[in-house]
């Protein structure tokens, strides 16, 4: 799990942008759950929230607090056009990188 | 998880964020995020976010605030100025209350500076006690250290003052001038504190939630 958490840190910002691109908007708890459901487990909110706020300050996402129904308010994060552009630019680079890394590992494992 | 432990975590996180010079509006936002997540999941805040000290360090790092050691917060000029004004005001007021003519000697000046420098030690230890949460034992030792150095500091400063001696006399002033100066120093300290607190108030960003700390 420790190793997986390390891998995830390398791609977390892009993964979050990608999840927000899919849903349009989301809040912290469901983002943690969706990462988990997507096979990227082990993400703690203590890591995710500071990242989301950095993306917010960089203009890649936008955040807004909304009143909860009976419970506490929720902070929603929405993907901005700039965030979409960053995902479009760096997403393929990561995919290429991951593909190359996978190829190296597969060659090593099959030899 | 109990409401009491959540409240304790909240207070300790708030303190740790303040010590890392995270601005008040940002502190309010972080506290609301933690509270909202914990209420939604029922998870213990330490389990979800780490200890208050660790989480504050991570927030400060991502936010690009001071980031480094919370010690810097104690040593920043604003804190030292408030402490200096308080000490000088108290020293002048005490002297004016007990004598008709107040004299400022090299020894008393060195004593005040020494006390100011010595008070940094209990402040640093108190901060470690509040932000180092890896073990209760460590917290207790840091807390006891802070208390001990706080009690010892005036004695050591007094010893330094006596060692330097009462001569030469730098300034002599009548009691009313000393009182007036003490009032200026103390009012200056209060004004500085109020300005700092007002300018950096913690506000809960959630709609419909009234609050600040």
pLDDT tens digit string along B146-166?
A: 899 889 988 898 898 888 877
Q: Which residue of A has its CA nearest to B208?
A: A67
Q: Of B41, B55, B61, which is closest to A29 when you measure between CB atoms? A: B41
B58: chain A residues, CB-CB within 8 Å: 46-47, 50
Contact B33 A57 (CB under 8 A): no
Interface contact B42, partner A, CB < 8 A: no
Domains of chain A and CATH, by start: 2-110 (1.10.10.10)
Answer with the residue of higher pLDDT: A5 or B178: B178
ipTM of the modeled complex: 0.87
Alpha carbon B194 to its chain centroid, in Å, reads 14
B49 interfaces chain A, CB cutoff of 8 Å: yes
Neighbouring C-beta atoms of residue B123, cutoff 10 Å: 18
8 Å CB contact between B9 and B52 = yes
The reply to whether residue A65 touches residue B205, judged by beta carbons under 8 angstroms, is: yes
CA distance B143 to chain A (A): 27
Our CA-based measurement puts residue B135 at a distance from the nearest CA of chain A, in whole angstroms, of 20
CA distance A90 to B174: 74
Angle between helices B106-131 and B52-63 (to 10 degrees): 100
Placement of tokens 């700390």 in the chain: B213
CB B124 within 8 A of CB B74: yes
> What's the pLDDT at B72?
57
Q: What are the extents of the domains in chain B?
A: 3-68, 72-198
Distance CA B166, CA B123 (A): 29
pLDDT at B119 over 70: yes
pLDDT for B213 equals 43
Residue A22 has pLDDT above 90, yes or no: yes
Cα–Cα distance measured from residue B9 to residue B201, given in angstroms and rounded to the nearest whole number: 19
For an interface test with A, which of B20, B40, B46 has the most A Cβ atoms less than 10 Å from its Cβ?
B40
Which distant-in-sequence residues (6+ apart) come within 8 Å of B6 by Cβ? Answer: B35, B38, B45
**How confident is the model at residue B37, as a pLDDT?**
92
Q: What is the pLDDT of residue A37?
A: 93
Which of B48, B204, B205 would you mutate first to test chain A, the one with the most A CBs within 10 A? B48
pLDDT for position A87: 97
B150 vs B86: CA distance, rounded Å? 16
The model's pLDDT over B50-97, given as tens digits with 9 standing for 90+, comes to 999 899 989 988 776 544 455 555 666 677 788 888 888 888 888 888
Banded pLDDT at A10 (limits 50, 70, 90): confident
Contact A72 B62 (CB under 8 A): no
* Band of residue A93 on the pLDDT scale cut at 50, 70, 90: very high
Least confident among A31-40, A102-111, B117-126: B117-126
Tell me, what DSSP letter sits at residue B168? S
Q: Which of residues 62-81 of A touch B (CB under 8 A)?
A: 65-68, 71-75
Average model confidence (pLDDT) across chain B: 82
Q: Which of B30, B36, B54 sits opposite A72 (nearest CB)?
A: B36
> B-contacting residues of A 79-108, CB under 8 Å?
none
The predicted structure's pLDDT at residue B6:
83
pLDDT confidence of residue B1: 58
Task: Closest CB to B49: pick one of A46, A51, A57.
Answer: A46
Cα A77–chain centre separation: 12
Predicted structure pTM score: 0.65
Percent of chain A with pLDDT over 70: 95
First-residue to last-residue Cα distance in chain A = 26
User: Nearest CB to B207: which of A53, A66, A71?
Assistant: A66
B142 touches chain A (CB under 8 A): no
- Using pLDDT thresholds of 50, 70 and 90, give the confidence band for residue A106: very high
Residues 170-199 of B with CB under 8 A from A: none
**Strand A61-66's sheet: what is its strand order?**
A25-27, A74-79, A61-66
pLDDT at position B139 is: 78
Predicted confidence (pLDDT) per residue in A46-76, tens digit: 999 999 999 998 999 999 999 876 667 899 9
pLDDT at B74: 60
């Amino acid at each position: 799990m420790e190793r997986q958490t390390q891998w995830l840190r390398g791609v977390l910002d892009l993964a979050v942008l990608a999840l927000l691109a899919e849903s349009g908007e989301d809040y912290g708890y469901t983002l943690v759950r969706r990462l988990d459901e997507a096979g990227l487990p082990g993400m703690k909110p203590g890591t995710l929230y500071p990242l989301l706020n950095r993306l917010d300050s960089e203009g890649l996402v936008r955040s807004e607090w909304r009143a909860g129904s009976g419970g506490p308010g929720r902070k929603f994060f929405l993907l901005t056009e700039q965030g979409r552009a960053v995902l479009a630019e760096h997403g393929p680079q990561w995919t290429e990188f991951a593909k190359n890394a996978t190829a190296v590992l597969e060659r090593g494992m099959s030899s | 998880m109990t409401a009491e432990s959540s409240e304790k975590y909240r207070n300790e996180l708030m303190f740790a964020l303040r010590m890392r010079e995270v601005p008040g509006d940002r502190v309010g936002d972080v506290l609301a995020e933690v509270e909202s997540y914990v209420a939604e999941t029922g998870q213990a805040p330490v389990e979800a976010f780490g200890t208050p000290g660790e989480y504050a360090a991570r927030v400060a790092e991502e936010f690009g605030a001071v980031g480094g050691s919370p010690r810097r917060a104690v040593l920043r000029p604003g804190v030292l100025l408030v402490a200096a004004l308080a000490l000088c005001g108290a020293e002048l007021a005490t002297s004016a209350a007990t004598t008709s003519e107040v004299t400022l000697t090299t020894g008393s000046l060195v004593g005040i500076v020494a006390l100011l420098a010595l008070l940094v030690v209990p402040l640093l230890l108190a901060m470690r006690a509040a932000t180092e949460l890896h073990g209760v034992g460590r917290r207790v030792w840091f807390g006891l250290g802070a208390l001990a150095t706080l009690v010892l500091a005036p004695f050591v400063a007094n010893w330094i003052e006596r060692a330097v001696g009462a001569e030469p006399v730098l300034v002599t002033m009548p009691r009313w001038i000393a009182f007036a100066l003490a009032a200026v120093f103390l009012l200056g300290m209060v004004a500085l504190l109020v300005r700092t607190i007002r300018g950096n108030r913690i506000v809960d960003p959630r709609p419909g939630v009234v609050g600040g700390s």
